[in-house]
């Protein structure tokens, strides 16, 4: 979407305010980027936040609204997204933000559709049966965003190997969030633990967060964190191909989100007595260590190597719903 300088500046300001309201963590991480990359990250975030809000019928990630017209809401997201990629005004500044950044860096409609599929899964209250289902869900709600962010950082849309590793970062983020928020998600009527895991632990449906199952819950959280560390290590390898400041941002984020998962694991059955978080001083420490790692740029290949990529996760995408 070609716009003049004044229009672009207005959209960037809209996106900046959107990320400031919607995600302090993402806003803070974006400060590590150079100015051009930071603005483009804001533009992409504005679309992600707005599309997610439309899918869940909410405002800035707040309370869920009426879910009865899901098909119409998803069709609306897809229609405006298509207009954005066609370089046409959408009537919604967040979607115009997508049009601008897509034109500037080469984001593709398939990348956006993979993210929208994640909104659809959440809005439909979809739940994973297997570990593979869980990872596919994480791809759509977070890995696919990581792929788009990699392109924003300068990775070619044709560089599949690097995009695969960007997906790993998103997987690690989402898996850490799931481990931390198991009880919080349950209170909202959602469960992202695979049904097979619950069956293996002999846990009755809907009872996994009850006090008498906290030890089993801690075991399942530890399984999640093992997956976090697997994909975190792969993401760190992929970061070696990014420009320095983007590499620094990715390594810092990987360390911080990895720390969340490891704290959950270390707390065991007490992990959900209070919210697990990484304090500011520790975030700063992870940022400093990430700076050194980015400067040295010699991340080790994880034990056993890396033999997976986006193609292993994408098949879970539901077919686009017909217009409502």
Q: Do residues 44 and 78 both lie within one domain?
A: yes
| pLDDT at residue 131, rounded to an integer | 95
Residue 141 has pLDDT above 80, yes or no: yes
The pLDDT value given to residue 322: 37
How many whole angstroms separate alpha carbon 106 and alpha carbon 182?
36
Domain boundary among 81, 105, 129: 105
Looking at 28-32, 141-145, 287-291, which range is the least confident one? 28-32
Per-residue pLDDT tens over the stretch 221-267: 999 999 999 999 999 999 999 999 999 989 998 998 899 999 999 99
- Three-class secondary structure of residue 61 per DSSP: coil
Task: Tell whether the model's pLDDT for residue 276 goes beyond 80.
Answer: yes
The DSSP-derived string for 264-277 is HHHHGGGTTSS---
Higher confidence at residue 87 or residue 320?
Answer: 87
323 and 203 fall within a common domain: yes
Q: Of 76, 105, 134, which marks where a domain is finished?
A: 105
pLDDT(321) > 50: no
| % of the chain beyond a pLDDT of 70 | 90
207 exposure class (CB count in 10 Å sphere: 0-12, 13-18, 19+):
exposed
pLDDT above 90 (res 32): no
Say yes or no: 99 and 134 in one domain. Answer: no
Same domain? For 136 and 98 the reply is no
* Domain coverage including residue 131: 109-324
**Beta carbons of 198 and 208 less than 8 angstroms apart:** yes
Q: What is the pLDDT of residues 48-83, one digit of tens each?
A: 999 988 987 765 444 555 556 788 999 999 999 999
Q: Are residues 284 and 225 in the same domain?
A: yes
Are 256 and 295 in the same domain? yes
Q: Are residues 39 and 76 in the same domain?
A: yes
Q: What's the mean pLDDT in 167-194?
A: 93
Note the pLDDT of residue 318. 45
Q: b or e along 217-239 (b: 16 or more beta carbons within 10 Å of the residue's beta carbon)?
A: bbebbbbbbebbbbbbbbbbbbb
Phi-psi label, residue 268: left if phi above 0, alpha if psi -120 to 50, beta otherwise:
left
Q: Are 193 and 133 in contact (CB under 8 A)?
A: no
Q: How many domains does the chain have?
A: 2
Query: In terms of domains, do 44 and 154 share one?
Result: no
Length reported for the chain: 324
**311 and 283, same structural domain?**
yes
CA distance readout (Å), 26 to 31, 71, 74, 202: 9, 29, 25, 38
Last residue of a domain, one of 46, 79, 105: 105
- What is d(CA 108, CA 113) in angstroms, rounded to the nearest whole number? 9
The pLDDT of residue 20 is above 90: no
Distance of CA 173 to the CA centre of its chain: 6
The answer on 166 and 123 residing in a single domain is yes
Identify the three-state secondary structure at position 153.
Answer: coil
The CA-based dihedral angle spanning residues 119, 125, 126, 131, taken in that order and rounded to the nearest 10 degrees: 100
Report the pLDDT value the prediction gives residue 13, as an integer from 0 to 100: 93
* CATH code for the domain in which residue 129 is found: 1.10.600.10
| Tokens encoding 37 | 């990359």
| pLDDT at residue 301, rounded to an integer | 85
**Chain-centroid distance, C-alpha 202:** 31
Confidence label for 103 from pLDDT (cuts 50, 70 and 90): very high
How would you class 158 by CB atoms within 10 Å of its CB: exposed for 0-12, middle for 13-18, buried for 19 or more?
exposed
Q: Look up the pTM and report it.
A: 0.88
In whole angstroms, give the CA distance from residue 32 to residue 55: 30
* 319 pLDDT higher than 80: no
Same domain, 62 and 140: no
pLDDT higher than 80, residue 2: no
Measured distance CA(262)–CA(282) in Å, rounded: 13
Q: What is the pLDDT of residue 24?
A: 64
Query: What does pLDDT average to over the chain?
Result: 88
Between the CA of residue 118 and those of 62, 115, 312, what are the distances in Å?
18, 5, 16
Same structural domain for residues 101 and 113? no
């Amino acid at each position: 979407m070609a716009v003049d300088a004044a229009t672009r500046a207005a959209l960037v300001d809209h996106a900046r305010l959107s990320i400031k309201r919607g995600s302090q963590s993402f806003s803070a991480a974006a400060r590590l980027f150079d100015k051009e990359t930071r603005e483009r990250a804001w533009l992409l975030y504005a679309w992600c936040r707005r599309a997610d809000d439309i899918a869940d019928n909410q405002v800035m990630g707040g309370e869920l609204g009426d879910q009865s017209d899901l098909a119409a809401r998803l069709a609306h997201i897809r229609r405006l997204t298509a207009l954005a990629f066609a370089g046409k005004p959408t009537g919604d500044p967040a979607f115009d933000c997508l049009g601008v950044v897509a034109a500037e860096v080469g984001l593709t409609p398939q990348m956006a559709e993979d993210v929208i599929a994640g909104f659809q899964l959440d809005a439909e209250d979809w739940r994973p049966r297997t570990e593979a289902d869980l990872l596919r869900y994480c791809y759509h709600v977070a890995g696919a965003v990581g792929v788009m962010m990699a392109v924003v950082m300068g990775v070619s849309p044709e560089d599949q190997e690097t995009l695969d590793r960007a997906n790993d970062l998103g997987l690690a983020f989402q898996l850490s969030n799931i481990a931390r928020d198991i009880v919080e998600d349950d209170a909202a009527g959602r469960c992202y633990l695979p049904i097979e895991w619950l069956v293996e632990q002999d846990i009755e449906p809907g009872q996994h967060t009850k006090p008498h199952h906290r030890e089993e819950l801690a075991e399942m959280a530890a399984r999640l964190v093992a997956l976090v560390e697997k994909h975190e290590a792969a993401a760190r390898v992929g970061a070696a191909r990014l420009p320095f400041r983007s590499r620094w941002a990715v390594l810092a984020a990987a360390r911080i989100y990895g720390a969340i998962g490891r704290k959950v694991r270390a707390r065991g059955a007490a992990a959900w007595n209070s919210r697990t978080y990484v304090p500011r001083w520790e975030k700063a420490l992870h940022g400093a260590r990430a700076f050194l790692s980015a400067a040295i740029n010699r991340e080790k290949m994880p034990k056993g190597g890396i033999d997976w990529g986006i193609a292993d996760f994408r098949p879970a995408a539901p077919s686009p719903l017909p217009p409502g």
